[in-house]
Amino acid sequence: MQLVLHVWRQAGPNVKGAFATHRVAANPHMSFLEMLDSLNEELAANDEEPVAFEHDCREGICGSCGIVINGVPHGPTRGTATCQLHMRKFRDGDEIWIEPWRAAAFPVIKDLVVDRSPLDAIVQAGGYITARTGSAPDANAIPIPKDDAELAMDAAACIGCGACVAACPNASAMLFTAAKASHLGLLPQGQPERDERALKMVSMMDAAGFGGCTNHGECEIACPKEISVEFIARLNRDLFKASVMAVE
Amino acid sequence: MRRVVQLYKSTIGKKIMMALTGVILVGFVLGHMIGNLKAFQGAEKIDAYGEFLREMGSPIFGHGQVLWLVRIVLIVAFIVHVIAALQLTRVGQKARREKYAKSLEYEASTYASRTMRYGGVFLLVFVVYHLLHMTTGTMHPDFQIGGIYHNLQVAFGSVVVAGFYLVAMAALGFHLFHGVWSGFQTLGLNHPRYNRYRRPLAVGVAVVIALGFVAIPISFLAGILS
Ligand code: HEM
Ligand code: FES
């Protein structure tokens, strides 16, 4: 299949970027990233600068491959990261627009690669539990209702790719923060720091320059792990409780 | 109070304040809409209803006192709602300076959710006009204090004025459709058993309130009320 790609090219963080048009021949069995690999081989063969894009696992679990494809973070297949998107979803002759995540909190490093470290900062602010290290505790020593365990796992499916921010008209990181707070908040081990966690993670989220959530719901659709906006309601409730009801 | 201020500092806190003040405003528009329907019972009933609003709380409270208390609550709620909205708009704009060249494909958001900010500003303009029109009479061609039916009759004799009310109530409907649903999310009122009723409830509130309000100008235009 022959494709016309409009790819965002930007040499570095503080320079102006622009779209460059490239033509590639792709095979429908290729993944989207393999298609970009073959474009890069061609560019390199012609002594041109290859397109920088981030990738690692290529199996939908590391969260590094986020790209906006035709205005949709991670492209047209729901519940799929860019690395698992296949070219058979496109048609011969298609024009494809490829852009990086656009958020003030995610400055472009190069071409399609953005700096997502503000997400790490949110986790560092409170997305952890304090536990004694050493030998592993006995499995099932702490009883956990099955429904809670399942729900916690749904939240923990977040791979931190930032598609929620990319898709949000406000560039808000609420779905990410809510997932990271909820997967601990649903489990007994997460209770001691639950209030503090909500306060610290939300204040870091705001400080990092993300927008506020206005409940559009675009994040849930863009999420490759299909994480529900119900976790956002949960975080809101936790923050409210932590701010107003706290004893101290 | 320190806690409320602390909460308000966060984007979520601002949204929580918008949701709480929104509940007050929805309660007001619902009550106001039901009150307006008295116009269908004739001039005497609705004028008497206006008088009742001013006498509310009597004999414990004096003339207009409870009404003013309610007005103060509404004014404060309205101001908090609008200021938080403006602040969040600014945060959102700063969070995405560079726009997408190929604009985002919207899949989950609605026309209502994307126009909350413009619709809100329009409602603000409407409320100011409406108060000058129907409450103070400043912008009314032939205002009679306490003559509510007469004031409606004269106002909606003009197709332009009635049309403006219709457009404003459509905007109110859209604002409520997203606002009610969003309010549930913001206040953390979710439960797997009841979540499926949230959207229908938002539609119901929006439709009932908008239709209830527009019934009056439409009826004057159509000659059902005269
Ligand atoms: C077609 C729709 C509407 C009609 C026909 C209408 C009619 C009226 C009338 C006749 C009054 C004066 C009552 C009196 O003199 O005692 C009034 C007052 C008022 N209306 Fe409306 N109204 C409409 C929609 C709205 C909406 C959507 C809002 C708010 C978003 C609103 C806000 C107010 C306020 C704040 C007052 C003043 C209440 C007070 O005196 O404290 N109205 N309206
Ligand atoms: S490369 Fe790891 S999720 Fe796509």
Looking at residue A198, which CATH number applies to its domain?
1.10.1060.10
Residues of B in contact with A218 (CB under 8 A): 104, 106-109
Handedness of CA B134, B140, B143, B145 (dihedral sign): positive
Is A97's CB within 8 Å of B12's CB? no
Give tens-digit pLDDT for A45-69.
999 999 999 999 999 999 999 999 9
Is A104's CB within 8 Å of B95's CB? yes
Ligand 2 pocket: which of A34, A36, A53, A57 to mutate (most atoms within 8 A of CB): A57
Question: In terms of domains, do A129 and A236 share one?
Answer: yes
Q: Is B46 close to ligand 1, i.e. is its CB under 6 Å away? A: no
Question: In terms of domains, do A48 and A125 share one?
Answer: no
Write a three-state SS string for chain B: CHHHHHHHHCHHHHHHHHHHHHHHHHHHHHHHHHHHHHHHHCHHHHHHHHHHHHHCCCCCCCCCHHHHHHHHHHHHHHHHHHHHHHHHHHHHHHHCCCCCCCCCCCCCCCHHHHCHHHHHHHHHHHHHHHHHHHHCCCCCCCCCCCCHHHHHHHHCCCHHHHHHHHHHHHHHHHHHHHHHHHHHHHCCCCCCCCHHHHHHHHHHHHHHHHHHHHHHHHHHHHCCCC
Question: In terms of domains, do A243 and A148 share one?
Answer: yes
Is the pLDDT reported for residue A121 higher than 90? yes
For residue A234, give the chain B residue with the closest CA: B188
Nearest-ligand number for the alpha carbon of B51: 1
Q: ipTM of the predicted structure?
A: 0.91
Question: In terms of domains, do A156 and A93 share one?
Answer: no
Give tens-digit pLDDT for B104-120.
889 899 999 999 999 99
* Number of domains making up chain B: 1
Q: Is B165 close to ligand 1, i.e. is its CB under 6 Å away? A: yes
Which whole number is the average pLDDT over B148-177? 97
Detail the DSSP E strand segments found in chain A. Answer: 2-9, 18-25, 68-69, 72-73, 95-99, 108-110, 113-114
Looking at residue B155, which CATH number applies to its domain?
1.20.1300.10
Question: In terms of domains, do A53 and A105 share one?
Answer: yes
Enter the pTM of the model: 0.91
Percent of chain A scoring above 90 in pLDDT: 93
